[in-house]
Structure 1
Amino acid sequence: MKKTLITLSLVFISAVAFGQAAVGIGLKGGANFANADVADVNTDGVTSYHLGAYGLIKLANIGIQPELLFSKQGTSASGDDLDLSYVNIPVMLKFYLPAGLNLQAGPQFGMLTSAKDGDGDDIKESFKNSDLSAALGAGWDAPFGLQFTARYVIGLSDINDEALGGEFKNKTFQLSIGYTLFKLGN
C-alpha cells in the first residue's frame, strides 16, 4: 500500500511538472432544492443550501473533483417540515467539452449530522447515519477561476432506520458557484 501511494504521488507530481495535469483547490456554495421519495406519502420540496470545498485534478479533457460539502436537505409532508443536515463527499468524474463546459457523474457519500422535525425536535435516531447517492450534472469552468454547476443527486440507499412508512430516499437538485483559490499546472 505504501509503495502504491508513493508511486501514484510520483506519477501525479511528474504529470503536473511536465504540464500534462492541472491541480486546483477552491470553495463552492449554492442552493439546494431538496425532496425525498417516501413510500405512500406525498411530499413537497424544500429550498436550502450547501457549501464547502473542492479539489480538482485535470488531465487533458478528464477531471476528478472530490468535494467536502455541508448540505441542508429534507422535505415537507402535510405542512410538517423535515430538516436533514449532511456532510457530503461527492467524487465527480468530469468530462470536458470545448470552452470549459463539462459533464459530471459520480458517487456521493453522505454522513447525517442532524435531523429535526417541524417542531425542532431531534429525530436523528429515526434515520441511518449514512447515505449513498449518485450525482449527475453539467457545468462550466470559466477561465478566470469561477465554476458554475447544475447537479441532480438521487439517493440510492434507504435512510429510514425506523418504521416511518417504508423506504425514504433523498433527492436534491443543486445550483452551485465555486471559485478556484489555488491552481497549479495548465
Structure 2
Amino acid sequence: MKTKLSLLIVTICLAASHAYSQAEFAIGIKAGPNFASLDTKASAGENYKSRTGFHGGAFALIKLSKIGIQPEIIFSQQGSKVEFNGADIESNYNYMNVPIILKLYTIAGINIQAGPQFGFITKAEETFDYNGDTTTEDIKNQLKGSDISLGLGLGWDLPFGLTIDGRYNLGLSKINDAPDRPEAKNQVWQFSVGYKLFKFGN
C-alpha cells in the first residue's frame, strides 16, 4: 500500500513538474484597426455600413501546454455609418472592453480563440451631415453603460514575442437604452498586432 501511494505521489510530482516546465506567463500590448457596424432591426438597417476605427491596449497570457487564457483591457472605437432620409449619420462609440479569451494552440503557434467580452461605454456621439450642414450630438445617456459580446478568432504567436490576431466580436446584448431608438447590437471585426513585453517560462 505504501509503495503504491509513493508511486502515485511521484507520478503526480513528475506530471506537475512537466506541466510547470511547459507553462508560460506573458504581458504585452496590442493594437490595430476596427471595422465596426450595428446589427439593428431599424427600417434603414440594410443601409448600415462599417465604420473604421482603432483599438489598442494590454493583455496577459497564461499558457499551459496547448491551452491558454488571455485576459485583455482594450480601448475600442466602434459604431456605424448610415444614410437615412438624405442625411449621412455616423455613430461614434468608444468602449473600454475586457475580453477573457480561451486560446487553443495547434501547430507553430497558430491558435483558435473564443471567449466573452465585457464592454463599458466611455463616449457616444452621432454626427449628422445633411447637404453639407454638420451637427454632432452627445448621445451617451441614450445608450446602456455596458455591453456583452462573444469574441471568436484566430491568432498566431510568432517568434521574438510578436502576435497577430483576427477576431470577430459578436454583440449579444442590446446597446440602446432610449425608447425612441431602435434595437441594436455591436458587431466588430478586429485585426491586431501585439508584442510580449515580458515573458516567463517556455
Normalization by structure 1: what TM-score?
A: 0.89
Percent of matched pairs sharing the same residue: 48
1:36 pairs with one of 35, 38, 63: 38
Q: Is the 8 A contact 2:55 2:75 kept in 1?
A: yes
Structure 1: unaligned runs, 5 residues or longer = 1-13
Q: Mapping of 1:100-115 within 5 angstroms?
A: 100-115=109-124
Aligned partner of 1:7 in structure 2 is none
Amino acid paired to 2:145: N
Amino acid paired to 1:141: D
Q: Is the 8 A contact 1:25 1:56 kept in 2?
A: yes
Aligned partner of 2:131 in structure 1 is none
Normalization by structure 2: what TM-score?
A: 0.82
CA deviation string 1:85-120 (max 9, x = no partner): 000000100000110000000000000001001133
Aligned partner of 2:100 in structure 1 is 91
**Deviates further, 158-167 or 69-78:** 158-167
SS of the aligned residue for 2:112 comes to strand
Aligned partner of 2:126 in structure 1 is 117
Q: Is the 8 A contact 1:151 1:173 kept in 2?
A: yes
Q: Is the 8 A contact 2:19 2:64 kept in 1?
A: no
CA deviation string 1:119-138 (max 9, x = no partner): 33211011000000001000
| CA gap 1:129/1:106 in 2 versus in 1, 3 angstroms | same
Aligned length: 173
Greater C-alpha Rg: 2
Aligned partner of 2:76 in structure 1 is 71
CA-CA distance at 1:18 after TM superposition? 3.8
- Ranges of 4+ aligned residues in structure 1 off by more than 4 Å: 14-17
SS of the aligned residue for 2:137 comes to coil
